[in-house]
Chain A
Amino acid sequence: MPHPVSPEVSTPEQEDGGLPDASENEEGQQGDEVASAGEDQMDIESPPMPVVVKEEVRLDDMFDDDDDDDDDDEYGEFPESSVPEIKPEGAQDAPIVTAPSARYSDPEIMYAFYQRLFPFRYLFQWLNHSPSPTNDFGHREFAFTLQNDAYLRYQAFPTADLLRKEILRLNPSRFEIGPVYNTNPRDRKTLRKASHFRPVAKELVFDIDLTDYDEIRTCCDKANICRKCWTFVTMAIKVVDAALRDDFGFQHILWVYSGRRGAHAWVCDKRAREMDDPKRKAIAGYLEVVKGGAQSGKKVNVKRPLHPHLSRSLDILKDHFQSDILEVQDPWRDPTRSDRLLHLLPDRALNDSLRKKWDSSPLRPSTSKWADIDALAKAGASRSLDAKALLEAKQDVVLEYTYPRLDVEVSKKLIHLLKSPFVVHPGTGRVCVPIDPRRLEEFDPLSVPTVTELLGEIDQWGAVGTNGEVAAGDAGGGGEESKAGVARRVQDYEKTRLKPFVDYFKGFVVGLMRDEKGGVGVDGRKIKREKTEEEEDNGGEDRMEF
């Protein structure tokens, strides 16, 4: 799976087409090809279409949409799947199909969403790290996917307002965020040499996608998810979050629901943003434990004694294994699947007795099968049993079924783009809302509001007549009025279920800006200062202490 999101930077060496370039360039080079394949039509400065396209949406188009969602891997969004996932609506066997709905791709809906709900101000502050515009924001690449699927890269905006205006004008179906460049991405072609245009900073990002769990989840597959398999994401967030905080000392980690079947992490600490690719690769490698494709045998091969990161992860995961894997997923009930378990165990004689036992009671649940291992081992099923090897193999099994499966390629490159928080997933209509890691267990992807529901809630709020306010602009847009006015004007987002998510994001951004401004002590403790305007705005509430 390529992650081809490099800009069209090429060196003279590459152009004259001589012998190979350095190996570390390969990926970028391949990426260039893919990216530039569509460059002519994609990289255009002016919009190729009117703001709003009136088009009849047919059923076929909906599925096209769904397809495109996967295709966009090739342009830069992170793979939400490598498999096209066309599933007829109402397929009987799927527990909950997050099927596309024609209404989500309706340009007018998107327009209303951007105009009334999208938190541009906080998005700006999040990327800008300060209330007044800097190059952190101004040189940041945005990439828009328009309603006609044209893809505009290298967009950049000096202020939140200009970003908002352009988004309202182009009305993209979604957009992505790339790195901060050393110069304004719009000016890249005026540089004397293409190689002078280079990325200098970006959040360290992670991508967790449930399709990477297809071989171990039994409840759903492909694009479909349910609460049962969402626990894989929950486990992954716990493990990665702990490592990033405890081991690497990062503090500003934003987890975001990807809108369908996974989650993204944005590590926003300055130290993380400034890492070069080898350092990103080092973290990705540190966190990568489950390796190998569907056909490779044992996927977890870790040395003993376990590295502290791994013993901590096991501690986090073992309860989940008992309940969410053995009981809920029941991965080895099916006799063909229990062979997979035996394959991972080291002792032949023990395996023979296990197989015999399980053959005589087919469909024995996984919990019992797992318990059988120790029971038969104790009963002396194998004379040559190596108890330590068995224990380690069992630990490996736990890791194979619970440890985060990250798409590490995504994390390795500064230059990759990732879907922005709060955009609408075109396939599900759900908003990519932040996930509060302190309330991780409460997060339910299936009750994340969809764009149509949210717009309905605004209408409803007005209809009920709770208040007589005029609808305000985008979320966070009215911060100043709120201080001036006697009765604080209610923002549109506050009328909807988006409110807790925007509030959480606001708090996150405040914490980030505070550290950015005040600096962080060597020991990681924040340096005390006076409250900023934003904190006042936020009611002085310190939301960001994790």
Chain B
Amino acid sequence: MFRQEIPRIDSKRRANFDPKRRQFAPEAHTLVEYPHRLNLYDSPPTSEITLEQFEQWAIDRLRILAELETCSFRNKTQTETITHLEPLLRKYLPLSSNSSSSSARPAERQKDHYSHFILRLAFSRTEDLRRRFAKLETSLFRMRFMQDDSRERASFVESLNLEWEAVGEEERAVLAKELIAAGGGYREDARWFKVEWERVPELVESRRVFLKGGKAYVPVREQLSLVVAEFSSQLERGLELTSRALPRLDEDDRLTPILNHLSTHFSTPAFASSTSSDALASSAISAATIPAIAQHFPLCMKHLQTTLATTHHLKHFGRLQYTLFLKGIGLSLDDAIQFWRQSFSSITDDRFNKDYRYNVRHAYGDVGGDANRRGRGYSPFSCQKILIEHHPNTGDAHGCPYRHFSVDNLTSLLQATGVTDRDVLKEVREDVGKSRYHIACNKVFEHTHKAEIKRAKDEEGWGAAELDTIVHPNTYFKRSYLLKNFGQAKAEEGPGDAMEIEGGN
């Protein structure tokens, strides 16, 4: 689904993910067995997978981690996060329990195992990436641990052989009052472990354990914290080791681009791109209807449309950003040429044909080298690309208003498009102040589609998978369009794979 952003590699060639030659295990052995659904990832994968699997598994896991990060940016509660993630996990990273009869179980566990280690490679390069990766993997682990079948969980914990000192009978009697008070009065606790308090900082922070002389007395029911702490400290150590082993991996010219790509796109959760399904094969989209359907555009494209309508011109990057966006929403090449011709109303046909027509055709892959034609032109820009590349200068209208506008100008622009709610504007200002541009944009989307989203959830059963964070202008359009035209557009969703592969640039 996100393949177009990944460098194409001949999938027939095998990725040798045999760690023996690289950085991991001392010796090769055959297929790893997965007795438990949960995995501490203490032993690296050993068998070969295809390059295609290598990429795809990593991308699928990254998708999950990015959503987790977004949830935490948006201060979602644990329950909200689980609700949000559940459908995505089912889709991208399912993990059945032992009790399930799913025949996919071994494959699921292998994918979970391998994708974790591929991302370790990709994200061990800088301390910042390591820390974020560890944090998100820990959240994922915690979520899965909590949802695990209690018997399977117990057997998993047993298999870990963690060294926890049990609190003896005598000490327990002496400290009975304190232990119960620290446990919130919960009287069912019968067993406690004694660990260095540093191993359970979260229990300490919320005063859920008794502390004495630097030891934390942890009731067995707080096992989750202990296991999670163990998971995260093992992972941190592992990442540290991987980062030291990384230089040796650079020899492999097939893996390096993939890993680089994964890690650069992790600097934002927005590694996704417009996909075929973002184009609506709808007759509603033509040169004539653009101004009307612009109500569904994200702020960046609305601004381009407004600028174009008032000045009858856009500068180079503005044209490029907008042309590709329009291509992405399903505007045909002919319609696109017509649209631009009409919009550039102050110039002659000659000048248009000479200076601009070719560019539009090029963007659509109608002209240009073989690669461009084969790739059907450029892909519409993702938020990531718009945010980072081609910083706008004076007179430019492209870019992301959340990032490239002053706060005052952004506020005016939002107000001009009908966003006047003071709370929303305030939150937008805060998000922008913290460089969370896509969060701000998503908030505006949610605010302006509040009623429709509710209806879609109630009546159409939309869930997190349909309402995940928008990280591409074309997704913004499509979702807005679908929400406002329920029942009509949905059925028409066609294959129109206009921009499956990223072209030049």
Contacts and interface: CB of A to CB of B under 8 A. Distances in A.
B131 A18 contact: no
Interface in B198-216: 198, 201-202, 204-207, 210-215
Interface in A13-46: 13, 16-26, 29
Given A13-B128, A19-B436, A22-B128, A249 B181 contact: no
Contacts of A489: none
B294 interface: no
A11 interface: yes
A284 to B, nearest CB: 8
Interface residues of A, number: 43
Contacts of A24: 131, 135
Contacts of A82: none
Contacts of B388: 16-18
A290 B214 CA distance: 24
A511 B126 CA distance: 39
A276 to B, nearest CB: 9
Contact of B204 (A286, A311, A524): A286
Interface in A287-312: 303-311
Given A17-B435, A20-B73, A195-B128, A283 B181 contact: no
B72 interface: yes
B7 interface: no
A2 B439 CA distance: 23
Contacts of B268: 18-20
Contacts of A20: 73, 268, 434-439
Contacts of B131: 22, 24
A93 interface: no
A279 B198 contact: yes
A26 to B, nearest CB: 6
Interface string A100-144: 000000000000000000000000000000000000000000000
Looking at B178, B184, B201, the one whose CB has the most chain A CB atoms below 10 A away is: B201
Nearest to B125: A12
A246 B204 contact: no
Given A23-B72, A23-B73, A303-B184, A278 B127 contact: no
Contact of A198 (B127, B135, B198, B267): B127
Interface in B91-141: 126-129, 131-132, 135
A247 interface: yes
Contact of A19 (B128, B180, B181, B383): B383
A19 B435 contact: yes
Nearest to A283: B204
A305 B126 CA distance: 45
B185 A305 contact: yes
Interface string A222-249: 0000000000000000000000001111
Given A282-B201, A305-B184, A247 B127 contact: no
A519 interface: no
A397 interface: no
A285 interface: yes
Nearest to A307: B207
Contacts of A13: 126, 128-129, 267
A308 B210 contact: yes
A21 B128 contact: yes
A490 interface: no
A58 B411 CA distance: 46
A17 B132 CA distance: 17
B184 A285 contact: no
Contacts of B212: 246-247, 249
Nearest to A250: B214
B324 to A, nearest CB: 19
A392 B271 CA distance: 52
A281 interface: yes
Contact of A18 (B69, B178, B184, B267): B267
A256 to B, nearest CB: 23
B202 A282 contact: yes
Interface string B293-307: 000000000000000
Contact of A25 (B128, B269, B384): B128
A344 interface: no
Contacts of A328: none
Given A19-B268, A22-B131, A286-B204, A248 B214 contact: yes
A275 interface: yes
Given A24-B135, A275-B198, A282-B201, A18 B387 contact: yes
B456 interface: no
Contacts of B255: none
A331 to B, nearest CB: 27
Contacts of B202: 282
A528 interface: no
A178 to B, nearest CB: 19
A271 interface: yes
Nearest to B471: A19
B481 to A, nearest CB: 24
Contacts of A304: 185
B267 A286 contact: no
B287 to A, nearest CB: 33
B226 interface: no
B127 to A, nearest CB: 6
Nearest to A13: B267
A306 B177 CA distance: 11
B435 A21 contact: yes
Contacts of B384: 18-19
B182 interface: yes
Interface in A191-234: 195, 198
20 contacts: A11-B126, A13-B129, A16-B267, A18-B267, A20-B435, A24-B131, A29-B435, A195-B126, A195-B128, A247-B214, A248-B211, A249-B213, A281-B201, A281-B205, A282-B197, A304-B185, A305-B185, A307-B182, A308-B178, A308-B181
Given A18-B384, A22-B128, 8 more contacts: A13-B128, A17-B388, A19-B268, A23-B72, A198-B127, A247-B213, A281-B201, A307-B207
Top-9 shortest CB links A-B: A249-B214, A19-B268, A285-B205, A282-B201, A247-B211, A13-B267, A282-B205, A249-B213, A22-B132
